[in-house]
Amino acid sequence: MILLHGFYGQTVEIEEDRLYDAAEELWVLDLGDRVRIGVTKVGVLLMGGIESTEFFVEPGDEIAEGADLVFFETFKAVRYVLSPLSGEVLSVNDTVIDDPELFDDDPYGDAWLVEMRPVTGVSSESSLSSPRDYAEALERSEHCAEGSEVLLEVKKGSPTCRSLYGGIRGNEPGEGSLSWKDDASGDGARPPDEEDPAD
C-alpha cells in the first residue's frame, strides 16, 4: 500500500493491487474474468462526502468508455462519473445507495460501484494509471500545497505531500475528465478543487 501524507491535510491510502483513472478518481481491480470499479479515497475527499448515489446502468447493459456510469449528490454539488472502460455490466452494488457512508469507511472494499466484463482485446493498462503514477500525479497537484485546506487560496508554495512506496509496477497514465453540474443551475463546469475538504 502507498501512503500519501499531506493530501488535504490527511494521510491517503492508495491500494497497489489495482489501476486508477486519475481524471474520474476511480479504481479498477482485475478479478480475472471481470473488473470491479470503485471511487478512490481522494475522490471522496474532493467531493466533500457523498450523500446519495444513482446508477445509470444495470446488469446486462453494455456501456462505452466515457459514458455516464453513476451520479453522485454531494454536500455542495452533483457529479456525473464516466466509465473508465467499455464492456458489459455484470453487477451493481446497490448497498452504497442505502449506506453512502461506506464511501468514507471503506472506499476500496465494500463501497465498490460495479463489476463489468471489458470488451475483448482492450487492455485496461493502456488507459489507466499504475498506483505509483497515480500517487505521483497527486503529489504534483495543488491539493498537496502547503495550507491546502482552503484550495482556492492556494496559488503558490511547493508540494508538501510525501509518499511511501512499496514494490509496484508502472504503466502510462490514462486520460479522462470530471463532469460537474451545479445544484442551482443544473449546468456549467465545476472543477473538483472548488469543493471544501471533508470534515
pLDDT single digits (tens) 88-129: 999 999 999 999 999 999 999 999 999 999 998 666 666 799
Whether pTM exceeds 0.75: no
- DSSP string of 139-150, one letter each residue: HTSGGGBTTTTS
- Identity of the amino acid at 178: L
- Strand-pair category, 2-7 with 162-164: antiparallel
pLDDT single digits (tens) 181-194: 333 444 444 444 44
Residue count (the chain): 199
Query: Exposure of 32 by Cβ count < 10 A (0-12 exposed, 13-18 middle, 19+ buried)?
Result: exposed
pLDDT number for residue 43: 92
The CB density around residue 140, as the number of other CB atoms within 10 Å, is: 10
CA angle 7, 54, 73 (to 5 degrees): 45
Checking if the pLDDT of 49 tops 90, the result is no
Checking if the pLDDT of 164 tops 90, the result is no
Average pLDDT over residues 20-30: 95
Give the bridge partners for 158, in sequence order: none
Checking if the pLDDT of 37 tops 90, the result is yes
Distances (CA, A) of 138 to 103, 133, 151: 19, 9, 14
Share of the chain above pLDDT 90, in %: 51
Give dist(CA 14, CA 134) in Å, integer.
9
pLDDT number for residue 68: 96
pLDDT number for residue 113: 98
Query: Exposure of 127 by Cβ count < 10 A (0-12 exposed, 13-18 middle, 19+ buried)?
Result: buried
Closest CA to 34 of 74, 85, 76: 85
- Strand-pair category, 26-30 with 19-21: antiparallel
- Identity of the amino acid at 10: Q
Q: Contact 6/162 with Cβ under 8 angstroms?
A: yes
Sheet holding 2-7, edge to edge: 10-14, 2-7, 162-164
Average pLDDT over residues 139-167: 52
Q: Domains in the chain and their CATH numbers?
A: 2-167 (2.40.50.100)
Q: Contact 191/23 with Cβ under 8 angstroms?
A: no
Average pLDDT over residues 10-28: 93
